[in-house]
Amino acid sequence: MALKEISSNKCFEGFQKVFEHDSTELKCKMKFGIYLPQKAESTKCPVVYWLSGLTCTEQNFITKAAFHQAASEHGLIIVAPDTSPRGCNIDGEEESWDFGTGAGFYVNATEDIWKTNYRMYSYVVDELPHLINGNFPADPDRASIFGHSMGGHGALICALKNPGKYKTVSAFAPICNPIQCPWGQKAFSGYLGPDTGKWEAYDATQLVKNYSGPKLDILIDQGKDDQFLAAGQLLPDNFIAACTERKIPVVFRLQEGYDHSYFFITTFINDHIKHHVKYLHA
C-alpha cells in the first residue's frame, strides 16, 4: 500500500512525520502522524498508538501533547491516526461536531449509509498496524494503546476486545460507558442502529465485565474540573466499579483543577509514557 509523505520535522533527534494513504477499510484517503525516534534508525522499536477525541485530526496530538522528548528517550514509535473517514459525501456527515466527520467513535458502523466508510475500529486494530509494521522499523510484538476522551474510549475497547494484542492501555478522560451518556447514545444509534445489545460490543464498562485475557494494567487520568465529567459524558465510576468487580487493576487519578484540554494531557503525558514503557520494555 503506497504511503505519501506529507511532512517531516526533526524533533529530539528523531522525526515527526505525517503520511497519507488510501484506506481499504474506510474507502478514502487517510492521514496519520508517526514519530520515529533516532533509535529506529538502527533497531526495531515498540509502537504506541494514540487515539484522539471528538473534532480532532492527526495534528492535535503531534502538535500539542509534548510527548516527543519522552518518546525519544525511551525509543518509542508513536502513531496518531485521524478520528474518522473524511470527504465521503455521506448525507449528514458534516452536520454536527459529535457525529460523522471527526467523530468516528472507533466502531464499525452497521447502519446502511455509514457502514461502507465508518469502520474506524477495524482501521485501528487491523489496517493501521499492518501498514505500520510493513513500512517502518516497528516491533509487531510490542504494541500498546492510549487516547483521550472519545479516543480514550477507543483505546480501552481496542485493548479489551483484543486480549494480548496490546501490552498495556491508558487513557485521559475517557468516555467510559458510552451506552449511558448522550455522546455515546447519539453516535451508537446513528452508526449501529436502535438495538442497544449491539452497542455493548463497543462499551468499555460492558466489555470489562467479560474480559478474560492476559493481565491488563490500566491507567486513567481524569481532570476534576472537566466540564464533560460534570455533564455525565465520561462516567468513570461505572468503569472502575466494573473493573473492581472483575479484579482488573485500574489506577484512576482524579487530578485537582484540571479540565478536558491538551493542557491537562501535556501535564501528565510523561507518566503515561512511563506506564507504557514498563510493559513494552519488560
Question: What structural domains and CATH numbers belong to the chain?
Answer: 4-281 (3.40.50.1820)
Look at residue 282 in the predicted model and tell me its pLDDT. Answer: 81
Name 95's Cβ contacts closer than 8 Å, sequence gap at least 6.
none
Residue 143's closest CA among 93, 151, 106, 130? 130
Name 263's Cβ contacts closer than 8 Å, sequence gap at least 6.
none
Other beta carbons within 10 angstroms of residue 194's beta carbon come to: 9
195 is catalytic: no
Amino acid sitting at position 239? F
Q: Which of 148, 260, 275, 276 is catalytic?
A: 260
Instruction: Tell me the C-alpha distance between 119 and 125, whole Å.
Output: 10
Percentage of the chain surpassing pLDDT 90?
A: 99
Q: Contact 85/104 with Cβ under 8 angstroms?
A: yes
Q: Which of 82, 203, 221, 226 is catalytic?
A: 226
For the record, the C-alpha cell of 3 comes out as: 504511503
Q: Contact 33/58 with Cβ under 8 angstroms?
A: yes
What are the pLDDT digits (tens) for 94-131? 999 999 999 999 999 999 999 999 999 999 999 999 99
260 is catalytic: yes
Q: Which of 149, 153, 221, 272 is catalytic?
A: 149
The owner of cell 456527515 is: 93
Q: Is the pLDDT of residue 171 over 80?
A: yes
281 is catalytic: no
Instruction: Tell me the C-alpha distance between 89 and 74, whole Å.
Output: 42
Residues 34-50 have a mean pLDDT of 98
For the record, the C-alpha cell of 33 comes out as: 502522524
What are the pLDDT digits (tens) for 235-278? 999 999 999 999 999 999 999 999 999 999 999 999 999 999 99
Kindly report the average pLDDT of the chain as a whole number.
97
> Is this structure's pTM higher than 0.85?
yes
Given pLDDT bands bounded at 50, 70 and 90, which one contains residue 1? Answer: low
